[in-house]
Structure 1
Amino acid sequence: MTTTDPRVDGPPRFSVRQRLTAAVALLTAAALVAVGATLFVLESQRIDRVIDASLGQEVGELRRLQAEGVDPETGRPFTSPDRLIAFFLSRNVPDTDENLWHFPVSGTPTFVGEGQRVLRTSPRFPALVERLTRRGGVADLDVDGRTFRVAVQPVQQGDQRAAFVVTHDVDGSRAQLRELMVTYALLSALSVILISAVASWLAGRLLSPVRRLRETARGISEGDLGGRLEVTGNDDLTELQRTFNDMLDRLEEAFASQRRLLDDAAHELRTPLTVLQGHLEVLDPTDPDDVRTTRTLLLDEIDRMTRLVHDLLLLAKAERPDFVRLERTDVEALTLGALERARGLADRAWVLDAVARTHVDVDPQRLTQALLQLADNAVRHTQPGAEIGVGSRVHDGHVELWVRDTGVGVPSALRGTIFERFTQGDGEQAGFGLGLSIVAAIMEAHEGRVVLDPPGATSGATFRLVIATGGLW
């Protein structure tokens, strides 16, 4: 039973644009909430300081009058605590949300101010004043859901004691702050909505290259490698577009190369297979000579197909990153080793032209393989006893290794395609036209190149392997 993971095959629950918009909205809302909370706390503390300062000012003025002890109207000392407080109340106007109270020695309290009804009817208020009358002080009082700050200053003369009380409606003073915070909350909500809308629009514009990339990638998955992204802008997404287009170019080139390789391989294998089938169909099993001749011919064709398959596999491996293994190599030893191995290929006059006494980062086995392939190619285009030279040198900051022959040379018509697969020159014997393409693949893996010298005064051809001295071309 096969199950489908909705996280893989199903559509995304939230798009990148939606997640970016939500993230911006959440961050903006969090920032505004933090600012609002900080503003509320700081403003509340400021209001508390203003209230305490106002209470302290009223009590301080009463204390100064009490310290003077002289009634300004009579020029004599105050006759009682009630007279002192009454005179003080007659000369002072309370601030907003503030009342000034006179709790006499006996009788009903009086006040100056707006008249805070909840205090006049609450039994908790006179109880608090009674508690603070002995020493004085400040305390908060909650009545009917409202908070009042109460300052009590006792006034005593002999055995008579009255109380001067200042009450401040804290909630009333904070009413403007609450209105401000409500306005701030509404504006913040509107700001979050507007910022989210702008963020969604910007995210859509910024992510449009990604959307085009997705659409192009979907087309590729359906087999179309011709689509390319229109590169716009100059940022990280622009570089992503260029990189994606470069990747498509490499993929398209690789797929085209594979198709050509398969087509050419099929074409080249068709001939030996046809030969095998034809000879097997006309073979006379009762004729020993016919069997022997057919067997020899078929083995030769099978050997040709084996070499073709080996060459094709080598070309396929050349696309892999581990095709070459670079190491510090002595070019002189590499040149001499390739020459000694080439002597066993055929009866030719093998010559060492020159050697470069230096070191370079290469794969010595692959370079030896390339030189022997060039040497084998030279053997097939020369007669017994002909001269073939092998050499190396340092030239223009590069290391060059070459194989030259004294054959008929490369026809001008083939010079442009000599390194392509299945390109065969005139007179090649048992060749598939893969040798030079293998050499080119080895040099490409070294990030170098193989070049054919221009035709000179003498006959023959010279193929050079050119590599940067640092191991990279």
Structure 2
Amino acid sequence: MSLRLKLLAAFAYVLVLVLVALEIPLVLSLSSRVDNEVRSRAASQAQVVAAAASARLGERGQLQRVVDQTGRDIGARVVVVDRRGRLLADSAGSQLRDESYASRPEIAAALAGRPGQGTRQSETLGTELLYTAVPILEEGRTVGAVRVTQSNAAVGDRVRRNVLVVVGVGLAALVLGLALAWVLAGSLARPLRALARTARRVEEGELDARADVCGASEQQEVALAFNDMTERLGQVLEAQREFVGNASHQLRTPLTGLRLRLEAAGLKSDDPAVQKELELAEAEVERLTRLLNALLTLARDGERPTLRAPVSLRSASEDAYERWLPRAAASGHVLALEGAGDALVRAGEEDVAITLDNLIENALVYAPSGTRVTVAWDEDGRLAVLDEGPGVPADEQRHVFERFRRGRTDRPGTGLGLAIVETLVRRWGGSASIRSRDEGGARAEVVLPKVGTS
């Protein structure tokens, strides 16, 4: 998960917690407030009707108009009964006029002078009702009662509407908050992505690449530190290149002179023992020269190469075959070529040649005499050397590319051959690997980018 998504998820988590913590008490408060408001309004209207009816109990027309108006105002049914519980006025109509309501508990309580309010289930309507009953007083005496009833479903609908409004506001706040968090997270992640792109450019050898100093102060500090590190890295590599150039000249010259002197000394002496010692000395000088060349090649690791011309894998393999055929015959190996078609790769001709030389030499060292060593290529940019030696254990297949790492100490070598292969191939954006073959032996393979691919 990216940094931006992690920041967005964290912000969303906190925002949801805050909204839940705020909205649950608010919803409960609104529900209680709506219920209390409905009850209070019903009680006050019932008292108003009772006050108006106390002087109009004998005037049914006026009394009916009062209960009709009140019923419309509060959306409820309003009834007025006399002191014996007989119906005098009903906002629902006059069909039940003079019917006795004295048996209704709330009416009986109001006629006894006890106002009441509560809920009950209506069997006729099949719904829960909120009732409010108050006595009608005249000179301190109870002369009738007023009852106001309304469906609790209406109260529930009002509560639900308020809850939906609150939830809608919360969701809108959540969406706006997430949009703001997305923008803020993007502003935090953008400099880091730019820094990563710059780091990859430096990795590819573009040492003059620098990170943009932008963003928060901490991000600017990281960018400045990265630029300082890249600057110092460039200086170190430049000093290393200068050292490589100087060392190449200063060391190769005396080694060449030493080899020439040994050859001249061999021509002047007829003593077989002396000549043998001189030949051994020449072999050591040659070994020292190869080691020096290997170290200088590794020292150039990180240089950005320049492609002069694409390299044909077929031609490079055939040239390597010609170079190593005498050495293979002398060691008792059968050197072979195997490939179909050709591939032009983005690499230096000398680097490909050195890569093949090291892979073939490594195979000739570890494969038993009398076995076959094959140089293979394909049209996908793969170049491989196959042998019939002991193979490479799975836990060693990555380590053999480390510098001075040798598969077996009883065989000649410096432990730099495969390290040089990986260094050269990586310079051109390729890869190197080695694995054991099912039929026995090892397969050392490099993959180089083909011309026309990136």
Q: Which bracket does the TM-score occupy, shorter chain normalised? A: 0.3 to 0.5
Relative to the length of structure 1, the TM-score reads 0.41
Q: TM-score, normalised by structure 2?
A: 0.43
